[in-house]
Amino acid sequence: MVSGFRLFYQATDIEKAQHYHAVLSLRGVQVELCVTEQLNARFLRLNPELGLCVDASGLWLCANGMKMRPDWQAEIPRLKRASLKSEMLARACQLSEKPSLLDATAGLGHDSLLMAHLGATVQLVERNPILFSLLEDAHRQAQQDTYLQATASRIQLVFSDSACYLQQLKQQDQSIDVVYLDPMFPQRDQNQQAIKKQAQVKKQMQLLHLLLPEDGEMDLGDELLALARQVAKRVVVKRPRHAIFLADQMPDHQWLGDACRFDAYFSKD
């Protein structure tokens, strides 16, 4: 049970607030409904603790004077520029073959959106009930967007712990073409010690870090690699260009960019 979240709303949005309250309660989140006269920038500054808010456009995560949610509509310009040839991610995941793909580290879903746009059928797995609800809201809005409808139809949201879900696939003797891993906190030094990011992260990532502290542990995704390799023909890991290998396992192939790289591990079968 996740506790201690307040959900702010204006009186005109009471039905939306009650809907999200019910949804989050079913997912184990204890939420206190709090009505306010105005849900504006000043209100957010005066209520800096991590919480949720609802307005006419849907559900938001808020803290420290900011609010955020996965904004898939904002990704449309990127999608319009993207092609199988221009995207390093597309080559790493062999999107030209329209694979079945499992994104085991969902984040804000932007990479999954791109991969679905370029032809993959994507399962987007997220265990955090609040982030999952935010992704669900983004998916719903994408289904109503003329440009994003076809892409959204190729994305299935799965509310599950990725490790458990991969184990379940193995037990059911199911395979998948590609498992994609983009750990939330990927940077470590060569002595396996967590290092601090030098540059301030974007607003969206600041709030995600508040939501997903992993009880003080860095979520490096190491345990997922071994599980993914048991069910996938190909595992693709997104890393900062100079980061060490995930779980210290050398990949079978790499695609290198200026700021990041994609490490690929191929099935031996």
Known binding residues are 126-127, 182
**Rounded Cα distance, 52 and 42, in Å:** 15
- Give the rounded distance of the alpha carbon of 68 from its chain centre: 13
Q: By CB neighbour count within 10 A (0-12 exposed, 13-18 middle, 19+ buried), where does 91 fall?
A: middle
> Residue 70, by phi and psi: left (phi above 0), alpha (psi -120 to 50) or beta?
beta
Binding-site residue ranges for S-adenosyl-L-methionine: 126-127, 182
Residues 6+ apart with CB under 8 A from 48: 63, 64, 65
Q: In 3D, which of 25, 1, 21, 22 has the Cα closest to residue 9?
A: 21
